[in-house]
Amino acid sequence: LFSFPSQLANNSISSIADDLDVETIETLAAEQAVRDYDEDIDGSRDTAIDALLQIEVSLNAEQVEADGVFDAAIQRTILIAIIIMIIGIAAAVVLALMLTRSIKKSVMECLTLTESVAEGDLTASIRISGKDEIAQLSEAVLNMQDKLAEIVGSVSSGAEQIASASEQLASG
C-alpha cells in the first residue's frame, strides 16, 4: 500500500525534477547566451577602445609634426624679418651717406667761393645744380660776387677817372 504513494511521489518528483531541469537548463542557456553576448560586447568595446587609442596616438604624432612645422615657419618668419630689417638699415645708411655727401659737396663749393671772394678773387665760380636751399644759397653767393665785381669795377673805373683828371690837372 505504501508503495503506490511512494511511486506516485517518485513520479511526481521525477516529473518536477525533469521540469526543473528543463527550466534550469533553459535558464542556464539564457545566462550563457547573455554571457556570450556580454563577451561579444566587451570584445567590441575593447576593439573600439584600441582603435580610439590608435587614433589618439596618430593625432598626437600629427600634432607634434604640426608643432614642428609651425615652429619652423616662425623661425623662417623671424629670419626674414631680421634680413628685411638689416636690408632696410643698410639702405637707410647708404641713403644717409649719399645725402650727407651731396650736401657736404654743395656746402664746400659754396664755402670755397666765399673764401675766394674774401681773398679778393671775384672771378671764381661754382656750378649750381638743384633747387634746394643749398643751391639757393650758392646762387645768392654768386649774385653777391657779381654785384661786388660790379662795385669794384665801378670804383676802379672811378679811381682811374680821378687819376686821369689828377694827371691832367697836374700837367696843366
pTM more than 0.75: no
CA distances from 122 to 57, 144, 156 (A): 92, 10, 14
Tens-digit pLDDT profile for the chain (172 aa)? 445 455 555 566 566 656 666 677 778 888 888 988 888 898 899 999 999 999 999 999 999 999 999 999 999 999 999 999 999 999 999 999 999 998 898 888 888 888 988 888 888 888 887 788 888 888 888 888 889 888 888 888 888 888 888 888 888 6
Torsion of Cα atoms, 28 then 34 then 35 then 38, to 10°: 180
CB 144 within 8 A of CB 124: no
CB 103 within 8 A of CB 134: yes
Spell out where 28-106 has E strands.
none
